[in-house]
Structure 1
Amino acid sequence: MLNVLTGNILPVFSVLALGFILGRGRVVSETEARAANRLAFLIFQPALIFPLVAQFDVSTFPAKALALYVVAEILCFTLTYLIARRVFGREHGESWLLAMAVVFVNTLLYVWPISVLIYGTAGAAPITAIVAWDSTVSFAFFIISMELISGKDGTSAAVRSMGRNPVLVAIVLGIAMNLAGLAIPAPVETALHYAGAAASPLTLLAVGIILSGSRLTPSPVVVTVSAFKLALFPAIVWALIAFVDPGDSAAPLFLLTAAGPSGMMAFALALLYGVRTDAITPVIIWTSFLSLIPLALLA
C-alpha cells in the first residue's frame, strides 16, 4: 500500500497540492488560474478526449459491470439531488452539480493516470471503460443539462451553445470516427497526444489554485455530499456487482474508481455557468484528500 501511495497516487495528487500552495502563497492569482482552467477545458481536454473515444475498443467493455456502475450512479445522483434540494434548500443548478460531484469521479484526470501507472494501459482497461463512459455519455449529459438549466435565452440558444462547445464536438467526432472505423492520421494523433498530456496537470494545478481561496470548514451539506461520495457510492457499486455479477474480474477496478475523489468537472461547470461554489469547492478538496488512503488500499 505504501509503495502505491508514494509511487503512484501522491505524484498525481501533488500537482493539485502544489496549486493549492501557490494559491495560498499568492504566487499565482485566481484570475490567472481561472484563465488556465478555461484553456484546459476548451483546448487540452478535447485533445485528450477525442483520441480516447475514437480509438477505444468497445469489444473490451465489461458490459455487465459497467451497467451496474451506471445504475449506482443514477441511484446516488437522484438521492443526492433530492437531499441537496429539499433538505438543504440549495438551488436547482447547485443541487444538480453537488449530485454530479458524488457520481462523476475524477477518472480522466486523476484515477485513470494513477491506474495506468500501476497496472499499465492493458491492465487498466476496466477503468478506461468508465473513462470512456464518463467522457462521452455522462459528461455530455451534464454539459447539456447545465446548458438547459442555466440558459436564459431558451432551449434554441442552449442548443446553439452546445454546438460550439469544443468538448461536446470532440466527443461527437470521436464517436463518429470510432463507429466508422477510421484511424486518426499519425501527425494528428501525435499533436493530440502532445496537447492532451497537458490537460490533467494544468487542470489540477489551476483548480488547486482556485480552491486555495475557499473556506474548508465542512458545513452539513459538505459533510453529507462528501460522505455520499466516499462511502455510499462505493458501497452501492460493490453491493450491485457482488450480488448481481459476483466474481467479475473487473469488479476491483470498478470499486477503485468509485472510491476516487469528486471530479473537477463539477467545479469547472459551476464556474462556466455561474453556479455558487461554496459547497462544491470543499467537497472536491475534502474528497481529494480523504480518498488517498482508500485508493491506496484498493489499488
Structure 2
Amino acid sequence: MFQILTHDILPVFAILALGYGLGWRGTFSRAEAAVVNRVSLTLLQPALIFPLVATVPIAEFDVRALALYGLCEAVGFGIAFLIARRMFRREAAEAWMLAMAVVFVNSLLYIWPISFLIYGEAAALPVTALVAWDASLVFGIFIIGAELIANPSAGLSSAGRRIATNPILLAIAAGAVLNISGLPLPAPLITAAEFAGAAAAPLTLFALGVILSQQSLRPSPVVAAISGLKLLAFPALVAAALGIGGVEGRWNDLFTLTAAGPSGAMAFALALLHGVRTDAVAPVIIWTSVLSLISLAWLA
C-alpha cells in the first residue's frame, strides 16, 4: 500500500499541491490560473476526451456494472442536491455544483492516470469505461444543467447556442459518432489530440491548486457534509449496489476504487466559469483530495 501511495498516487497529487503552494506564495495569481483553467477546459480537455470516446472499446464494457454505477450517481446526486438546497439553503446553481462534487469523481484527471500506473492499460479497462462514461454522458448532463441553472435569465435559446458550441460537448459528440460508425481516426489527428491532451491533467490540477490556495479551507458544516457524502456514502452506495448486482472481480474492485476518489475538479471549474459561489465547493475538492490519499492506496 505504501509503495502505491508514494510511487503512483502522490506524484499525481503533487501537481495539485505544487499549484497550491505557489499560489499561496503569490508566485502565480488567481487571474493567471483562471486563464490556464479556461484554456484547459475549452482546448486541452476536448483534445483529451475526443480520442478517448472515439476509440474506447465499448463492446468490452460490463454494461451491468456501468448501469449500477450510473444509478448510484443519480441517487447520490439527488440526495446531495436536496441536502444542499433544503438543509444548507444554498442557491440552485451552487447546490448543483456541490451535488456534482459528490458523484463526479476526478476520474479523468486523477484516477485514470493512477490506475494506468498501477495496473497498466489492459487491467485498467473498468476505469477507462468509467472515465468514458463520466467524460461523455455524465459530464455532458452537468454542463447542460450548469448552463441552464447558472444563466436562467439568458433564456433557452441563448443557453442552447452555448451548449451547441461547447468544445467539450462537441468533442464528445464527434468521438461518439466515430466510435459508433467504426471509422478510423487519421493518424495526424490522433497525434495532435494526444499531444494536446497530455497537458490537460497537469495544467488543470496545477491551475486548480493555485485558485484553491486563495480559498478558505475551513471545514464548515456544508463542507463537512458534502465531503462525508463523497468519501463515505457514495463509495459505500456503489459497493453495495455492485455486490447486490452480482458484479465481481476487477470491475467491482476498480469501480469501488474510482467511487472512493476525490471530488472532480470540473465541479469547481464549471462554478468558476459560470460565476457561481465557490467558497464551499473549493474546500470540498481540497479536503476530499487529501483525505482520499490513504483510502485510494488501501483500495488499490
* TM-score bracket for this pair, using the shorter chain length: over 0.9
Q: Is 1:247 aligned to residue 248 of structure 2? A: yes
Q: Any runs of at least 4 consecutive aligned residues in structure 1 with deviations exceeding 6 A, and if so which?
A: none
Larger mean Cα displacement after TM superposition, 110-119 or 237-246: 237-246
Equivalent residue number for residue 149 of structure 2: 149
CA distance in 1, matches of 2:298, 2:133: 25
Following TM superposition, by how much is the alpha carbon of 1:221 offset from its aligned partner in structure 2, in angstroms? 0.4
CA distance in 1, matches of 2:154, 2:160: 10
Equivalent residue number for residue 196 of structure 1: 197
User: Which segments of 5 or more consecutive residues in structure 2 lack a partner in the other structure?
Assistant: none
Equivalent residue number for residue 229 of structure 1: 230
Residue type of the alignment partner of 1:172: A
CA contact (8 A) 2:126 2:250 kept: no
CA distance in 2, matches of 1:261, 1:221: 17
Equivalent residue number for residue 134 of structure 1: 134
Q: Is 1:118 aligned to residue 112 of structure 2? A: no
CA contact (8 A) 1:106 1:262 kept: yes
Larger mean Cα displacement after TM superposition, 223-232 or 173-182: 173-182
CA distance in 1, matches of 2:284, 2:97: 11
CA distance in 2, matches of 1:192, 1:92: 35
- State TM-score, norm by structure 2: 0.98
Following TM superposition, by how much is the alpha carbon of 1:248 offset from its aligned partner in structure 2, in angstroms? 4.4
CA distance in 1, matches of 2:150, 2:94: 11
CA distance in 2, matches of 1:7, 1:248: 24
Equivalent residue number for residue 291 of structure 1: 292
Name the SS for the 1:257 alignment partner. helix
User: Which segments of 5 or more consecutive residues in structure 1 lack a partner in the other structure?
Assistant: none
CA distance in 1, matches of 2:218, 2:189: 46
Q: Is 1:274 aligned to residue 267 of structure 2? A: no
Aligned length: 299
Equivalent residue number for residue 85 of structure 2: 85
- State TM-score, norm by structure 1: 0.99
Deviations 1:61-94, CA, capped at 9 Å, x for gaps: 1111111111111111000000100010000000
CA RMSD of aligned residues (A): 0.7
CA distance in 2, matches of 1:116, 1:166: 26
Name the SS for the 2:215 alignment partner. coil
CA contact (8 A) 1:18 1:208 kept: yes
Aligned-residue sequence identity (percent) comes to 56
Equivalent residue number for residue 209 of structure 2: 208
Deviations 1:165-216, CA, capped at 9 Å, x for gaps: 1101100100011111111111111111010000000000000000001111
Taking the TM superposition and a 5 Å limit, the aligned residue runs for 1:255-274 are 255-274=256-275
Deviations 1:26-72, CA, capped at 9 Å, x for gaps: 00111100000000000000000000000011111111111111111
CA distance in 2, matches of 1:285, 1:159: 33
Residue type of the alignment partner of 1:90: R
Equivalent residue number for residue 9 of structure 1: 9
